Amino acid sequence: METLHIFESTPWLFYTATFALGLCVGSFLNVVIYRLPAILERDWRIQCHEYLELGDAKIDHKLQQLSLAKPGSACPHCGHKIRAWENVPVLSYLFLKGKCSSCHSSISLRYPSIELIAGLLSVIVALQFGVSLATLFALLLTWTLIALTLIDYDKQLLPDDLTLPLLWVGLLISFFDVFTDTQSSLIGAMLGYMILWTVFQLFKLVTGKEGMGFGDFKLLAALGAWLGWHFLPQIILLSSVVGAVTGILMLVTGLTRRQQPIPFGPYLAVAGWIALMWGQDINRLYFSSLQ
């Protein structure tokens, strides 16, 4: 309680602490984005071998031991174990000039970028919701959406390990009216899933192809649970427009081929975050324009 009082009376300290926390979480998100798909693929391979009775799957020893906590981070080029002072978000990258301290191989700019994005978005959340319970949960949603966006971009995968807990947390906090009431949350979760499931089935019926993955259904259901059913049209419209524009630009610039699948999860995540932050203002502006 004393800490909350300090944050309320000293806003700059609250925003600074939130930014620092966001940077640290961003560093962990780098681990989640890289390791979680590898862990899931390993487990699926083992399960497939067991189900098909093919014997033990041949898994690399390092992959067998892989988890989100172990082993410690290391340079992918020389195996140098990252020391604590080399793992300070953003600052270590700048101090090392973007290179491994051992083999001097380049470190991807993506790592500090994700840390910085997580930190900046965390501050925006803090500015929007202030010192409140809403900020705590909005930060949790923001960080999870960052991880889902990058995993889907890399692997075209929205893991149940992230989407389902997100759904259940959204339903849980609705009992406390953090972002919406329980009735709206329940309807939002059901409609969110069913809307995209229906689109998926119609597209498959017409074209014979699958236009999206089941993870997209679960992500929209989770966003519906967090924000309520009345934000679903806004999320779907925003994600569709952004997705269409981005897809056209990628085709024109040659960044993707016409038949290459484009993940929809990142657009849902971005639209969901915008709805979280400014959804009520957007809806209010839209309805006022109709009068």
Residue type, 13: L
pLDDT at 291 over 70: no
Higher pLDDT, 72 or 139: 139
Confidence of residue 259 (pLDDT cuts 50, 70, 90): low
What mean pLDDT do residues 159-180 have?
A: 97
Q: How many other C-beta atoms can be found within 10 angstroms of the C-beta atom of residue 70?
A: 7
pLDDT at 272 over 90: yes
pLDDT at 109 over 90: yes
> Residue 256: what pLDDT?
63
Alpha-carbon distance 279 to 64, whole Å?
44
Residues 6+ positions from 205 with CB-CB distance below 8 Å = none
Lookup: tokens for 62? 């390092």
What mean pLDDT do residues 68-88 have?
A: 84
Mean pLDDT of the residues in the chain: 89
Confidence of residue 258 (pLDDT cuts 50, 70, 90): low
Higher pLDDT, 53 or 194: 194
> Residue 76: what pLDDT?
79
Cα dist from 136 to 28, 86, 169, 178, 184, whole Å:
17, 28, 12, 10, 21
Confidence of residue 73 (pLDDT cuts 50, 70, 90): confident
pLDDT at 123 over 70: yes
Concatenate the DSSP letters of all residues of 178-239 into one string: SSS-HHHHHHHHHHHHHHHHHHHHHHHHHHSS--S-HHHHHHHHHHHHHH-GGGHHHHHHHH
Alpha-carbon distance 183 to 120, whole Å?
33
Q: What is the dihedral of CA 125, 128, 267, 253, to 10 degrees?
A: -90
Confidence of residue 222 (pLDDT cuts 50, 70, 90): very high
Confidence of residue 165 (pLDDT cuts 50, 70, 90): very high
SS3 sequence of 249-270: HHHHHCCCCCCCCCCCHHHHHH
Confidence of residue 66 (pLDDT cuts 50, 70, 90): confident
What mean pLDDT do residues 121-145 have?
A: 97
106 bridge partner residues: 99
Higher pLDDT, 249 or 120: 120
> Residue 255: what pLDDT?
64
What mean pLDDT do residues 67-89 have?
A: 84
**DSSP reduced 3-state for 74:** strand
Omega before 71 within 30 of 0, i.e. cis:
yes
> Residue 260: what pLDDT?
65
Alpha-carbon distance 206 to 209, whole Å?
8
Higher pLDDT, 254 or 80: 80
> Residue 83: what pLDDT?
85
Share of the chain above pLDDT 90, in %: 56
> Residue 257: what pLDDT?
62
What mean pLDDT do residues 199-220 have?
A: 88
